[in-house]
Structure 1
Amino acid sequence: MTVRPARLAEVAGFSIDKVAAAAGDDPDVLRLENLDTDAPPPREAVEATKAAVGELTANSYLPFTGRRDLRLAVADRVRSRSGVEYDPDSEVVITASDGDGLLDALLAVTDHGDEVIITDPTYAGILNRILLAGARPRVVPIRAVEGAWRLDLDELAASVGPATRAIVLQNPSIPSGYLLTDAEWREIARLCVEHDLWLIYWALMEGIVFDDGEVIHPASYPGMRERTIVVGTVSLEQRMIGWRIGWMVAPEAVMSDLAVVHIYNGLVAGGFAQAGALAALTAADDGLAGCLAEWQRRRDTVCDQLRGLPMLAAAGGWSQILDSRALGVEPDALSHALIRHRVAATPMTGWGGPIADRHLRLVFSREPVPRLEQLGDRFAMALADLGVTSWRVP
């Protein structure tokens, strides 16, 4: 019998696929289980992609680091949000997705047994990529404070030890939608500088911020340009999930290692997808502002429909989480009950630690407002099945 590799011993699946399979193809099911959206990509991206299909220049392994005009567009995008200049020739690599770039970064800066600090909850793809790289996750909780998620800065500082090599953060974050404040970023930067840590910043949705929140880039803080690896993508802000295009932006000192790892991990991003990404990043209007307004309306609808339940509104991103155990039911049981009433939502078991394990994720970016307005009644029926009847607020 084949022995399973030790690196997979603690690596679990998302459970999203199980919820999706249980939902089936019923068009009446509210699909809140997977990070998707019905908002279209920029028109320029679709047209450029179609034009590039079949072109010889878009059907090559070269250049390994991605086409230069796209690297320049990525450097411009990061500069516009951070105020920090990057050289497109020596400090930018195009990848075959942002998840690909995250694993590249972990393999390039950690050794077996190194510790990597993450939040609880986090995106399961962060946690499991750390394990695949042979490092060990060290979990720091986010906590509900005055109606918002806040990073526990005391526990963050206490988590840094001799084996700590990096901190991995998103902002806003999957699955909770928390948004780091300037004070939190300053403490993160202080710890990175004082302890010589890498910050792997997964910037997949940094511009998806609600309620006029501020977009803050960690590379702009003193001492952080030389220790921040930015992993980005067109998947969410530009709604180009199927293109599978991402990038890594990092100081030249580490970029040679990142590029080598990428060659043997992802090799090269698809040429016609790169053409689409370039068009999206250089479009006069990529449509993000209009999408933000609509996603915020959907978030607000979910909050209104589930008023009275233990849930904090997302400050950004495409999802937020509900504390199932505060209602006296397990997230998996609630997910199963919701499926019976045509709502698909994913339990967060395995998405960090004890805080994640008590929550259910609700993705609001895919369903339009008229459909989301059915959520409250369906939730009420599912909770009634589980014996919970007193949550609704008049």
Structure 2
Amino acid sequence: MRNNSRFAHVQTFDIDRVAAAAGADPDVLRMENLDTDVPPPPNAVTATAQALATGQGNSWLPFNGLPVLREAIAADLRERTGHDYDPARQIVVTSSGTAAVMPVLLATTEPGQRVVLTDPTYAGLLQRVRLADARPYLVPLRVDGGMWRLDRDALAQVTEAAAIIMMSPSMPAGVVLTHEDWTAVAEACERLDAYLIYDAAMERIVFDGHPRINPCRVDGLAARTIVIGSVSKEYRMIGWRIGWVAGPADILSRVLTAVTYNTTVASGFAQIGAAVALSEPSGVAEAVAEYQARHEAVVRQLDGLPLVRAAGGWACLVDAEELGIGARELSDRLLSHGRIAATPMTAWGEEVARRYVRLVYSNEPVKRLNELRDRFTAALP
């Protein structure tokens, strides 16, 4: 059987491996996967159920998404970005935010062109760059004062790229980009004539004291920015698998072609629920407060260990090598000795990422997280 070069450097998430090893043991702290026990908006659940009962959305059309959802996305983007997006020409609904990444890469890059990401970054972004036959170029995140910071000097040294992919808050590190960071991104995009692909999946999951800045509000970025959003994180609607792309009309026409010939159309039932989540109160602030409380519980429990605080998001990272052990071995020991399922970041970047193990706190309440120190102590060599 012939090899396929697109898959030569693609790595697995490792999430499923850790989850399978953990099994269904209720004693295990489930910190390997981005599920959440914070419920989705009840109004969205009701709207979805009603759509199922009445047959609304049970159609192949329209390929770019139901008008009610595209209009809700446009209204949400107007509030976030300060810009108006034409629901008919500048917004395409996709089967989740992650499913939007490949069509956007196909629309913005040629084979062999460079795409800039951070190290660490979400493995679903990094590996899709490889599958799109583009070349990832990783700019490191650095730990400064116990928090992650973008290495702006390293970004300024990039000499060529077709696109820059950024996420704020990011997965898996939880870095929140400052206005100075976004200005550096804008300068890089202008210098390189590159698009900014902005994964906004967690934009509002930001903790107290940290900025929440949409890049489209930064001078020079709006015209170059392609926004990828979804209802999975902010609205806790993981199983709906609804996302979207918004941006310049010429790029969105290409995105729509790629989406249509891949998935044809996202679930109509789920689109109706997503439209309600975007249009009505959906408990985002309350959910963020709960995630922040869980993050602080993790920080308290692991005080004195090489944990890097997150400024937002659903997870934070612990430096396995600082503990004198490899990330894969620490992940294995946490499960076998501490009953903690946690994913090594070996597929989530390069030199920086491979040092770390991710601790997801979105699916474990504070009461259970308060057992974390004892479990870690049992796991460390």
Query: Is the TM value for this pair above 0.5?
Result: yes
What residue in structure 2 maps to residue 242 of structure 1?
239
Quick one: distance in 2 between partners of 1:55 and 1:367?
36
What residue in structure 2 maps to residue 317 of structure 1?
313
Normalized against structure 2, the TM-score is what? Answer: 0.98
* 2:203 is the counterpart of 1:206: yes
Of 338, 341, 361, 2:334 maps to 338
What residue in structure 1 maps to residue 264 of structure 2?
267
Segments of 5+ residues of structure 1 without an aligned counterpart are: 387-394
Q: CA deviation at 1:57?
A: 3.7
* 2:252 is the counterpart of 1:252: no
Quick one: distance in 2 between partners of 1:98 and 1:267?
15
Residue 82 of structure 2 aligns to which amino acid in structure 1? G
What residue in structure 2 maps to residue 291 of structure 1?
287
What residue in structure 2 maps to residue 232 of structure 1?
229
CA contact (8 A) 2:122 2:172 kept: yes
Residue 331 of structure 2 aligns to which amino acid in structure 1? S
CA contact (8 A) 1:81 1:215 kept: no
Deviations 1:66-106 (A, max 9, x none): 01111011011111111111111110011111111111100
Quick one: distance in 1 between partners of 2:357 and 2:194?
32
Percentage of identical aligned residues: 49
Quick one: distance in 2 between partners of 1:73 and 1:312?
36
Quick one: distance in 2 between partners of 1:69 and 1:58?
11
Quick one: distance in 1 between partners of 2:142 and 2:372?
26
Alignment of structure 1 residues 1-394 onto 2, 5 Å? 2-161=1-160, 164-283=161-280, 285-340=281-336, 341-383=338-380, 386=381
Residue 292 of structure 2 aligns to which amino acid in structure 1? Q
Quick one: distance in 2 between partners of 1:58 and 1:6?
39
Classify the secondary structure of the residue corresponding to 1:4: coil
Quick one: distance in 2 between partners of 1:270 and 1:303?
39
Deviations 1:32-66 (A, max 9, x none): 00011100000010000000015444110100000
What residue in structure 2 maps to residue 389 of structure 1?
none
Residue 168 of structure 2 aligns to which amino acid in structure 1? N
Classify the secondary structure of the residue corresponding to 2:308: coil
Deviant stretches of 4+, over 3 Å: 54-57
Q: CA deviation at 1:160?
A: 3.0
Residue 10 of structure 1 aligns to which amino acid in structure 2? H
Quick one: distance in 2 between partners of 1:30 and 1:56?
39
Quick one: distance in 2 between partners of 1:102 and 1:261?
11
Quick one: distance in 2 between partners of 1:216 and 1:267?
33
The range that moved more, 68-77 or 207-216, is 207-216
Deviations 1:81-135 (A, max 9, x none): 1111111111001111111111110011111100000000001101110001000
Classify the secondary structure of the residue corresponding to 2:293: helix
Deviations 1:308-329 (A, max 9, x none): 0111211000001010001110
- C-alpha RMSD of the superposition: 1.0
Quick one: distance in 2 between partners of 1:255 and 1:33?
34
Quick one: distance in 1 between partners of 2:54 and 2:193?
45
Residue 378 of structure 2 aligns to which amino acid in structure 1? M
Quick one: distance in 2 between partners of 1:215 and 1:76?
18
CA contact (8 A) 1:225 1:251 kept: no
Q: CA deviation at 1:177?
A: 0.4
Quick one: distance in 2 between partners of 1:269 and 1:9?
30
Q: CA deviation at 1:5?
A: 1.1
The range that moved more, 205-214 or 178-187, is 205-214
Classify the secondary structure of the residue corresponding to 2:40: coil
CA contact (8 A) 2:205 2:312 kept: yes
Quick one: distance in 2 between partners of 1:177 and 1:58?
35
CA contact (8 A) 2:68 2:272 kept: no
Quick one: distance in 1 between partners of 2:204 and 2:274?
16
Q: CA deviation at 1:159?
A: 1.9
Residue 264 of structure 1 aligns to which amino acid in structure 2? Y
Q: CA deviation at 1:240?
A: 0.2
Normalized against structure 1, the TM-score is what? Answer: 0.95
Classify the secondary structure of the residue corresponding to 1:265: coil
CA contact (8 A) 2:118 2:139 kept: yes
Residue 165 of structure 1 aligns to which amino acid in structure 2? A
Quick one: distance in 1 between partners of 2:230 and 2:325?
36
CA contact (8 A) 1:298 1:372 kept: yes
Residue 221 of structure 1 aligns to which amino acid in structure 2? V
Quick one: distance in 1 between partners of 2:345 and 2:145?
23
Quick one: distance in 1 between partners of 2:5 and 2:146?
41
- The size of the alignment, in residue pairs, is 380
